[in-house]
Amino acid sequence: MAGTASAQQMLDQEMIARIGRRDQSAFSALYDRLSGPLYSLAIKMLGDPAEAQDALQDVFLQIWSRAAAYDPEQSSVFSWTVLLTRSRVIDRLRARGRRSRVVVASTEDTLTDAVDASTVESAADTVEKNDEAARVRYVLNNLPSEQRETIELAFFEDLSHHEIAARLGQPLGTVKARIRRGLLKLRERLNTL
Amino acid sequence: MISEEQQDQAALYALGLLGADEDAAFESELRANAELRDLVRELREAAGGLALTAPSLLPPASLKQRIMGEIAVETKRVVPMPTRRASFGWVPWAIAAALAVFCGLLALDRVRLERQLAETRAADPLMQTTFYTLAPSAPAPADAKATVAWQPGRQSGVIRISNLPAPQPGKDYQLWAVDAEHKDPISAGVVRVDKNGVAQIRFKPVEKAEHVKAFAISLERQGGVPKKEGPILLVGTT
């Protein structure tokens, strides 16, 4: 997360630097580390395993071709790849002329049913990621509900802030303020936890 | 000082919610405002973390094979292929003469480039990083693994371990650098995993290790030992 670069962030940056020099073993290692969370994000937004796999393929090919241009001043490798994934998923949603099928309310059961059981990550493999995920979930769940709902709509659905305002029946200024306050609180609490 | 309106824009920008025009205007503001850039970076990190709240799933193994296949093909594609040209009697001689001159220039250039490369390598520690993948050997669990990023120039590295359960009381895991110029493995210190079997630690071997062939983790007495005694649990080369 934000703040001083962690050992993991340094390791990620080193892998990206090697990928920029066309190192396939570093690419393979980065895939092993990030494909789970990025796939999970893609499938939550698209609701379709086949489409999520295509999107993930686009993302990793983009990582391969753009690694040399990665700028650590702008974001960590993890956030960079998350935002790349979100962007590719949104492109797909728009290209197919439909909106995300997944509402922000918990869809865990539905999603798990939609995917072959063999692809569900084993508990042991996800322990570390789940720690971080639990931390983010905890912070997110402790935001005021209207801020949480607005941020989730903004992040997981292909909606502009104008569309979010229309969906929630709130003035645009209110939506902007909720997003700002929610994201600032999220940043602050993740940094202090 | 960042105004509330700038904070609004920064949050929308971090989430990719601004339109193209607003994006361009905000980016020009960002270029001139370092404090605002820092805020955007932190908000991006917070936004990136939201991805971790999605239900955890893994893609099928076949996807990795597909992607690795694609990049292998692309890597081959960028190698320049010789092209056929129409030829005239004088052309080969002209080409040979030009090549002779060119080779001379290339030889000079190569010397210069080699010098530059050596200077760049010396200046950029990332170019000196070597990765080692450590695989389990009995009695470690089959899914235990570790990766070492080692920088010989700095004589330091980072190890990331997963799925290695905490040792029994009175024992510790110890990291070793196996160096071609040392008879015995060099201790790189005790590594402690958390309750989930995960560790991420910076280390520095106790002696200079300039030709590291492998890294290994053994099970030792609590606090570590100067010379390896216990069984090797994880070991790996580049």
Cβ contacts of residue B192 below 8 Å, gap of 6+?
B166, B172, B173, B199, B201
Chain A, 5-24: which have a CB under 8 Å from a chain B CB?
Answer: 6-8, 10-11, 13-15, 17-18, 22, 24
pLDDT in tens, A18-46: 999 999 999 999 999 999 999 999 999 99
Q: Determine whether B109 is exposed, middle or buried from the number of CB atoms within 10 Å of its CB (0-12, 13-18, 19+).
A: exposed
Cβ neighbourhood burial of A75 (10 Å; 0-12, 13-18, 19+): buried
Least CB–CB distance from B46: residue in A107, A115, A183: A183
Say whether residue A93 is in contact with chain B using an 8 A CB cutoff: no
Element (H, E) at B147: strand B145-151
Task: Give the integer Cα–Cα distance in Å for B46 and B34.
Answer: 19
Output the pTM of the full model. Answer: 0.58
Q: Give pLDDT tens digits along chain B (238 positions).
A: 889 999 999 999 999 888 888 888 899 999 899 999 999 999 999 999 999 989 888 999 999 999 999 898 877 766 555 555 555 667 777 778 888 777 777 777 777 666 666 665 555 555 667 888 888 887 788 888 888 888 888 888 889 898 899 998 899 999 999 988 888 899 999 999 988 888 888 899 999 998 898 999 999 999 999 988 888 899 888 7
Torsion sign, CA atoms A56, B26, B44, B12: negative
A119–B48: do the CB atoms touch at under 8 Å? Answer: no
Of A22, A29, A179, the CB nearest to B131: A29
